[in-house]
């Protein structure tokens, strides 16, 4: 299996990709989430692993945007514990600037507030480590331990919250088969001038004892107050009681997109 992930090597995305592959297949780095999605759509890779949400900083915007437009389905999820390190070149004594991906910088905001140091954004945590290793300036990178090791940097653990985890999803041409311990993802939006539509949707889940695990909104970009809703719930789309609920919901909304059913991650 060829699994695309957000590169370069050393990112948390690579860690998630390797955990998913379990030694069977090839992890292929790509520079951006949109390029990952396109590569899977064009069968340049068999699937694309992308970050969806972090327990501290919430959802990953580019992934949500991609889910609105792509024809791919969610076939799996991977949960990865996140531990950040401040990495510098050997011999560096005083750092003048810290680089990392915006999400990593946000997750380490408590640590960064204790320092009077300029911060800068990089395409990924591993890209930050690479920039530090190649620069003549006394820079630091917030990155995974693996990235620090790959680029021969000296790492110091700066984690301030051990509950920090990121949920990744695998996007492929088909979703996952029924396992008996599954999750399903939906994308919805309302019909115009339809008061109470979201209540009606949520009531379908509640009255049928289907447990929601995530619900969030994202602007459609068409007009103020118009939103897409992303909903995750326990169960597989092929289960008879869930299939009936999905059919009723589809008939009550303007946009209904079944993003896929897939096995619950082992850490759930």
Q: Which CATH number covers residue 199?
A: 3.30.70.260
- Name the strand (E) or helix (H) holding 149: helix 145-150
Of 172, 198, 213, the residue that ends a domain is 172
Domain region containing 71: 2-82+164-172
Which one of 120, 141, 172 terminates a domain?
Answer: 172
Q: Which range has the worst mean pLDDT, 40-44, 112-116, 133-137, 220-224?
A: 220-224
Whether residue 268 is contained in a domain is answered as: no
CA distances from 176 to 1, 179, 260 (A): 15, 8, 7
Task: Locate 240 and state its tokens.
Answer: 């008879």
Shared-domain flag, residues 168 and 37: yes
Element (H, E) at 99: strand 97-100
> Do residue 201 and residue 139 come from a single domain?
no
Task: Give, rounded to a whole angstrom, the gap between the first and last alpha carbons of the chain.
Answer: 25
From 157, 191, 208, the end of a domain falls on: 157
Is the same domain home to 56 and 118? no
User: Is the bond leading into 53 cis (omega within 30 degrees of zero)?
Assistant: no
Whole-number pLDDT of residue 268:
47
Give the global pTM. 0.88
Rounded CA separation 124/197 (Å): 39
Q: What is the pLDDT of residues 37-89, one digit of tens each?
A: 999 999 999 999 999 999 988 898 889 999 999 999 999 999 999 999 999 99
- Asked if residue 24 lies in contact with residue 1, where contact means CB atoms within 8 angstroms, the answer is yes
Q: Which residues pair with 233 in a beta bridge?
A: 184, 212
One domain for residues 48 and 168: yes
Residue 46 sits in a domain of what CATH number?
Answer: 3.40.190.10
Domains contained in the chain, number: 3
Q: Are 72 and 169 in contact (CB under 8 A)?
A: no
Tokens of 85: 């390190």
Is 141 domain-assigned? yes
| 77 and 115 fall within a common domain | no
Tokens 């118009």 belong to 226
201 & 254 share domain: yes
Please indicate, yes or no, whether residues 168 and 65 belong to a single structural domain of this protein. yes
């Amino acid at each position: 299996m060829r699994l695309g992930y957000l590169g370069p090597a050393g990112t948390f995305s690579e860690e998630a990709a390797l955990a998913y592959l379990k030694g069977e297949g090839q992890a292929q780095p790509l520079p951006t989430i949109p390029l990952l999605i396109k590569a899977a759509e064009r069968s340049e890779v068999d699937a694309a692993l992308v970050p969806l949400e972090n327990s501290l900083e919430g959802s990953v915007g580019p992934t949500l945007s991609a889910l609105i437009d792509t024809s791919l389905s969610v076939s799996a999820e991977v949960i990865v514990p996140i531990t950040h390190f401040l990495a510098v070149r050997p011999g560096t004594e005083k750092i003048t600037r810290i680089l990392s991906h915006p999400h990593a910088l946000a997750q380490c905001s408590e640590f960064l507030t204790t320092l009077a140091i300029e911060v800068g954004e990089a395409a990924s945590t591993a890209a930050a480590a690479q920039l530090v290793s190649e620069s003549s300036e006394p820079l630091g990178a917030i990155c995974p331990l693996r990235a620090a090791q790959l680029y021969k940097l000296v790492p110091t653990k700066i984690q301030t919250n051990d509950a920090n985890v990121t949920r990744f999803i695998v996007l492929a041409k088909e979703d996952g088969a029924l396992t008996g311990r599954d999750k399903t993802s939906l994308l919805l939006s309302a019909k115009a001038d339809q008061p109470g539509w979201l209540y009606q949707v949520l009531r379908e889940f509640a009255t049928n004892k289907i447990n929601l695990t995530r619900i969030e909104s994202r602007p459609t970009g068409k007009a103020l107050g118009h939103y897409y809703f992303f909903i995750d719930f326990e169960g597989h789309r092929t289960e008879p009681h869930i299939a009936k609920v999905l059919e009723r919901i589809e008939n009550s909304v303007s946009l209904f997109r079944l993003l896929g059913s897939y096995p619950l991650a082992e850490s759930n």
